[in-house]
Amino acid sequence: MKTAVADRRYKVHCIRIVPLWGSPVYITDHVRDLTIGANTYKTDTGYQFSGTASEDNMSPGVLDLSGVASAAGIDIDQIVSGVFDGARCYAFATTWNNPIVDEEEIGVAILGKTKLEDDRYTIEMMMLGDAL
């Protein structure tokens, strides 16, 4: 059971990507940028967060992040250089009217395979519990 649940009337989803080196990337699905603590979670268009998927047959839980390069602080040069290889992704829900970091944890994932097609990318992420 979750220790905290974001109020469903004001709920938004956020992800924080923390690379092994380089600056973190902060993204939200809210219609406006959210300032949470000292960080601004960007709402740039051009990316899609798939949500979580898991099966009852012991296959790993996965997340996908797809987008247009340069949206939300993720560009082709960073992807090609490997900045996001092995990075941690923290997904959580909070409320837009009183946002709190990691208020309702969705999960932690490790970024894995990245596919590039023209100026679009898809990053596969494996839930941390499944990677162990």
What pLDDT digit, counting tens, does each position of 52-78 carry? 554 555 555 667 777 777 766 777 888
Q: What is the average per-residue pLDDT within 30-56?
A: 76
**Rounded to an integer, what distance in angstroms lies between the CA atom of residue 125 and that of residue 102?**
18
Residue 36 neighbours by CB distance under 10 Å: 19
Helix (H) or strand (E) holding 81: helix 76-81
pLDDT of 6 over the 80 cut: yes
| Residue 8, both tokens | 């469903």
Closest-CA residue to 30 (of 50, 52, 12): 12
Q: List, in order of start, the domains of the chain with CATH numbers.
A: 11-131 (2.30.110)
The pLDDT tens digits of the residues spanning 87-101 come to 999 999 999 999 999
Bridge pairing between strands 34-36 and 25-28:
unpaired
The pair of three-digit structure tokens given for residue 63, joined into one six-digit string: 């997340």
Is the pLDDT reported for residue 131 higher than 60? no
The structure's pTM equals 0.80
